[in-house]
Structure 1
Amino acid sequence: MSLTRTLILLVASIVMLIASAAATWSYIESNHELEELFDAELAQSTRVVQGLVQHLATTQSSEALAGILRETLQLPDGALEEGDYDEILPDGTGHKYEKKLAFEVWTAKGTPVLDTLSANDDQALTPGYAWSEATGFQWRTFTLQDPKTGYWIRTAQREEIRQELSQELALSNILPLLVALPLLVIAVAFAIQVGFRPLRKLEQPIRHMDPESIHPLDTQHAPKEVTGLVGAVNGLLKRLDDALERERRFSADAAHELRTPLTALRLNLEIIDDKYPGEFSELTASVDRMVHLVEQMLLLSRVDSGAGFNPGDHNLSDIVTQSIADVSPLALQKQIEPSLDDQTGHATIRCQAALINTLMRSVLANAIQYSPAGTCVDTRLQRLENGYRILVCDQGPGIPEASRDKALGRFSRLDQRLGSGAGLGLAIARRIAELHGGALDLLDRQDGQPGLCVSIWLPPHPPTA
């Protein structure tokens, strides 16, 4: 799992956990505060009725007091029936929650004056808050006794309406948090992605760094937290570049130093061969293979270093045609017929013609070397949307797919019984293709016949340094 994904999941989980705890705490606290607010309103309603009772008790008779209270506080029969209406009733005659409120009034001796609750009035009247059951519902009540008149007054509120209102208000308090939570998680993920952007910028040079052009990473724009790591990587790259340079220098020097004694040995063998014809033919062939190996090592060293790589505009068709002509003597020795199918007509690319010619001769020579006598080596030049493709197919034994990466390696010969090379031809060809920004791959023949196809892709322009 990537560090970015780990941080996003970790931070998002922490944010969601904290937000959930905050939402739960807010919901509980909101419910508690709203319950206290409802209790305060219940007490206030009771004191309003108390004031009304005080006024009527001093100005009206007991019968008139009861009548006025019923007219004022008791709803008429059939009023506010449950139905499909809004909270405010038609014509503004009331509110549907009025049915959830009830009032009771008793005289100082406990005689009922008003009872809209229809609760059990046999219980002792005590001041304060309590819970009561009536009409199949739980009611929250507040009772007090008027000190001037002695009347007992109680206001009741149905539990379900209290819960409904408190839950709606509590949810409305945490709703913005619930809505903002997904946005917060997205913002956290975006912030982490942006924060890791400098690391991704450091990754790109390493990902596309070529072994032949190793360079240190830019430490000026590296995040402070990874400056030490970048410095360590730069040290490693410097040591690796030095080691590769020593290896390239050794290969070039060794090949160069071997060229002179091998040439002298070859000349001496020619002199001896004139005196004793045919007796030293195997030794001469071995020296020729050594000379060829030295030449390939020198060529590989130059290609690896990229020294003298000065591409220009050249006709790829002409280069391929010339390469086939160069290997024709080798093909004639094995009675192999090379062919060219040029589907481009005039393929102009920016390249170094000598290197592309070397690439083609290496691939064609390899195909001829491993093809049976009397067969064909077919070359096809195609135009693609992003460049050109050269396909060289032989009718030899082929290479199993599992061994193809190894076959493209240096000094690799899968079957020592076939051919006499040193295993550098395909490695040199692939390196030349990569130097031009292209690629070399080994494929099966598409016509079902035995053999191997070497696919070379070259862009119209090589990448700039």
Structure 2
Amino acid sequence: MRVETRSLSGRLVLSLSVLLVLFWTIAVGFSIHVMRAEFDEVFDSALQETTERLAPLVIDDFFRRDIGKGPDQVAALNPGATDEYLTYQVRDASGRVLLHSHNVGAEPYAAPLLPGFWSGDDRRIFTIAAVSDTLFVQVADSLAHRREATLESALTLLLPILLLLPLGMFAIRWVVVRATRPVNELRDAISRRDGNNLEPIALFGLPTEIATIPGSVNTLLGRLKLALQAERELAANSAHELRTPLAGALAQMELLADQLNEPDDRSRSHRVLEALRRLSLMLEKLLQLSRAEAGVGLSSTPVDLLALVKLLVETFQRSQHPTAMIELRPEPGLLGLVRAIDPDAFAIAFNNLLENAARYGDAEQPVTIAISADGRITVTNAVSVPLDPDLNVYRARFRRGHTSKPGAGLGLAIVEKLVAQMSGSMSLRTVVLPEGVTGFECELSLPPPEQ
């Protein structure tokens, strides 16, 4: 199951940006709450002071007028010149309006005739009693004006975050990327370490939080390198040491078998020869595997693989399987396939494919080798025994198919190891050949040539 991963810097940028917006919004909300209370104090103070200063003037003006039955209206000096938020009325003890400003009607305010503040749905009113509580001066302030002032102040606080948020996210990203750069360098350095690269990690100036990681990784890499080297040397040395005495024992056993006359003795000697030949084949494969483990895939010198394949096929038919039918089918117009690959490593891998095809394939059907210009080399052979439904099991070491033919079960494991060192890949599949014959196909995909 694949686990989705996310960038650490991306998480930090997103988290810090969300927190920035959240904290700024909370701060703006708290500021608006405080501002609203302060605005109310300022407006109430201005309303009260205006009423106290206006009351003597309005009452004096009231007594100078000839008041009839209806309320009198004070004319505006400059009508429409400015926004007028304050209105006033002069009322008697019964609540009747005697005098009112030009920007309010004769309908009495809803506020009671009691000195002090009163708030309605759309007005804030301050009342003053005069002339022995027979006249009341009421000055009203529009609450919509107050809400408008609060809204404009809130927008003044909110607009900067809308403008500064992209800049803040860019700054946060810049800071986070710089802060996490050592982490990315360490990640890249560790990701480049594999079975072919176990060199120590040389990174300096790392933050304290990750400064000890390279040392621990280098210690682990050193131990792993020593273990792998010891394993490879053991396999190689054992194969080399056993090859000579085994060849001598095989030669002596062949001479001895020729000198035996009894049928039972000759039968036993042939079984011993067969066992020695299998052991010799196993040692040869172990030696090839040790070379594959040593990492010999790539080379700095380009090699024409098409010419090399032709040479290997000719040598294989001449020296090992003279009766094998092999058909070489390069792509039309293909004159060469040049890659920077070690020829010995490629020869080991390709010979293993030929041996598998010739040993386990149908002897009456040809082995087909197709070569394309994009670096795909495909070896196809007919099979006479059932194949495992999961062909990938043949990649495992010492895993063989349903056959009694001799083999070590290491051929495809060696091929896959060498092809991986060539920066290529190996794929296995079942195909249907002409006349409905089941075939086994192994395809090597080699990397494109370096420009």
TM bucket, shorter chain: 0.7 to 0.9
2:75 alignment partner in structure 1: 71
State which of 128, 149, 161 in structure 2 corresponds to 1:144.
128
Cα distance in structure 2, aligned partners of 1:284 and 1:449: 35
1:459 alignment partner in structure 2: 447
Does structure 2 retain, via aligned residues, the 8 Å contact 1:326–1:361?
A: no
Cα distance in structure 2, aligned partners of 1:346 and 1:122: 103
Report the CA distance between 1:48 and its aligned residue.
Answer: 5.4
AA in 2 matched with 1:440: M
Name whichever of 182-191 and 244-253 sits farther off: 182-191
State which of 263, 285, 289 in structure 2 corresponds to 1:296.
285
Structure 1 residue 43 corresponds to structure 2 residue 51:
no
Cα distance in structure 1, aligned partners of 2:111 and 2:6: 73
Cα distance in structure 2, aligned partners of 1:216 and 1:445: 45
> Secondary structure of 2:438's partner?
coil
Does structure 1 retain, via aligned residues, the 8 Å contact 2:236–2:286?
A: yes
1:87 alignment partner in structure 2: none
1:105 alignment partner in structure 2: 90
1:317 alignment partner in structure 2: 306
1:419 alignment partner in structure 2: 405
Report the CA distance between 1:327 and its aligned residue.
Answer: 2.5
> Secondary structure of 2:37's partner?
helix
AA in 2 matched with 1:53: V
> Secondary structure of 1:226's partner?
coil
Cα distance in structure 2, aligned partners of 1:251 and 1:122: 105
Cα distance in structure 2, aligned partners of 1:74 and 1:314: 100
Does structure 1 retain, via aligned residues, the 8 Å contact 2:97–2:108?
A: no
Does structure 1 retain, via aligned residues, the 8 Å contact 2:297–2:421?
A: no
AA in 2 matched with 1:72: A
Cα distance in structure 2, aligned partners of 1:255 and 1:442: 29
Report the CA distance between 1:184 and its aligned residue.
Answer: 4.3
Name whichever of 444-453 and 268-277 sits farther off: 444-453
2:340 alignment partner in structure 1: 350
1:156-213 per-residue CA deviation (whole Å, 9 max, x = no partner) reads 1233443344234333323323554566456545644543332222222322323133
Cα distance in structure 2, aligned partners of 1:32 and 1:122: 22
1:229 alignment partner in structure 2: 213
Cα distance in structure 2, aligned partners of 1:121 and 1:431: 94
1:84 alignment partner in structure 2: none
How is 1:215-364 mapped onto 2 (pairs within 5 angstroms)?
Answer: 215-276=199-260, 278-279=266-267, 280-306=269-295, 310-328=299-317, 330-333=320-323, 336-343=324-331, 344-364=334-354
1:379 alignment partner in structure 2: 369
Does structure 1 retain, via aligned residues, the 8 Å contact 2:391–2:428?
A: no
How is 1:137-216 mapped onto 2 (pairs within 5 angstroms)?
Answer: 137-144=121-128, 152-177=136-161, 180-181=164-165, 184=168, 188=172, 191-216=175-200
Cα distance in structure 2, aligned partners of 1:46 and 1:179: 42
Cα distance in structure 1, aligned partners of 2:186 and 2:231: 28
> Secondary structure of 1:173's partner?
helix
AA in 1 matched with 2:30: W
How is 1:384-403 mapped onto 2 (pairs within 5 angstroms)?
Answer: 384=374, 388-396=375-383, 397=385, 399-400=387-388, 402-403=390-391
Does structure 2 retain, via aligned residues, the 8 Å contact 1:27–1:171?
A: no
Report the CA distance between 1:70 and its aligned residue.
Answer: 1.2
1:410 alignment partner in structure 2: 397
Cα distance in structure 2, aligned partners of 1:221 and 1:423: 49
1:256-297 per-residue CA deviation (whole Å, 9 max, x = no partner) reads 221122022112112202212754222112212212221222
Cα distance in structure 1, aligned partners of 2:342 and 2:349: 11
Cα distance in structure 1, aligned partners of 2:426 and 2:191: 20
State which of 430, 434, 438 in structure 2 corresponds to 1:450.
438
Which ranges of structure 2 fall in alignment gaps of 5 or more residues? none
Cα distance in structure 2, aligned partners of 1:23 and 1:293: 79
Report the CA distance between 1:108 and its aligned residue.
Answer: 10
AA in 1 matched with 2:278: R
Name whichever of 450-459 and 146-155 sits farther off: 146-155
Does structure 2 retain, via aligned residues, the 8 Å contact 1:31–1:167?
A: no
AA in 1 matched with 2:74: R
AA in 2 matched with 1:320: V
AA in 2 matched with 1:267: A
2:424 alignment partner in structure 1: 438
Number of equivalenced pairs: 430
Does structure 2 retain, via aligned residues, the 8 Å contact 1:8–1:192?
A: yes
Cα distance in structure 1, aligned partners of 2:195 and 2:111: 99
1:339-372 per-residue CA deviation (whole Å, 9 max, x = no partner) reads 0111122222232223222221111111121112
1:88 alignment partner in structure 2: none
Change over 3 Å in CA distance of 1:269–1:204 after alignment to 2: same
The TM-score with structure 2 as length reference comes to 0.81
Cα distance in structure 2, aligned partners of 1:105 and 1:285: 129
Report the CA distance between 1:378 and its aligned residue.
Answer: 0.8
Cα distance in structure 1, aligned partners of 2:347 and 2:96: 121
> Secondary structure of 1:142's partner?
strand
Report the CA distance between 1:308 and its aligned residue.
Answer: 10
Report the CA distance between 1:218 and its aligned residue.
Answer: 2.3
Does structure 1 retain, via aligned residues, the 8 Å contact 2:297–2:341?
A: no
Cα distance in structure 1, aligned partners of 2:161 and 2:131: 48
2:65 alignment partner in structure 1: 62
Report the CA distance between 1:237 and its aligned residue.
Answer: 1.4
Cα distance in structure 1, aligned partners of 2:321 and 2:64: 135
AA in 1 matched with 2:65: S
> Secondary structure of 1:224's partner?
coil
AA in 2 matched with 1:256: H
1:236-262 per-residue CA deviation (whole Å, 9 max, x = no partner) reads 111111111111111112112211220
Which ranges of structure 1 fall in alignment gaps of 5 or more residues? 76-92
1:24-65 per-residue CA deviation (whole Å, 9 max, x = no partner) reads 2122122222223332342354355347437758xx82339x
Change over 3 Å in CA distance of 1:276–1:111 after alignment to 2: closer
Report the CA distance between 1:112 and its aligned residue.
Answer: 4.8
State which of 389, 406, 415 in structure 2 corresponds to 1:429.
415
